[in-house]
Amino acid sequence: MKVLACIKRVVDYNVKVRVKADNSGVDLANVKMSMNPFCEIAVEEAVRLKEEGVATEIVVVSIGPTTAQEQLRTALALGADRAILVESAEDLTSLAVAKLLKAVVDKEQPQLVILGKQAIDSDNNQTGQMLAALTGFGQGTFASKVEVAGDKVAVTREVDGGAQTVSLSLPAIITTDLRLNEPRYASLPNIMKAKKKPLEVLTPDALGVSTASTNKTLKVEAPAARSAGIKVKSVAELVEKLKNEAKVI
Q: What is the Cα–Cα distance from 163 to 159, expressed in whole angstroms?
A: 6
Q: pLDDT of 193-216, one tens digit each?
A: 999 999 999 999 999 999 988 888
| Dmax (CA) of the chain | 68
How large is the average pLDDT for residues 114-127?
94
What global pTM score does this model have? Answer: 0.87
43: left (phi over 0), alpha (psi -120 to 50) or beta: alpha
Q: pLDDT of 155-184, one tens digit each?
A: 999 888 889 999 999 999 999 999 999 999
Q: Residue 248 pLDDT > 90, yes or no?
A: no
Mean pLDDT (the chain) is 94
How large is the average pLDDT for residues 20-47?
93
Alpha carbon dihedral 121, 200, 58, 77, in 10-degree steps, equals: -70
- Structural domains in the chain, CATH included, are 2-244 (3.40.50.620)
- Report yes or no: 57 and 46 within 8 Å, Cβ to Cβ: no
- For 24, residues 6+ apart whose C-beta sits below 8 A from its C-beta are 217, 219, 220
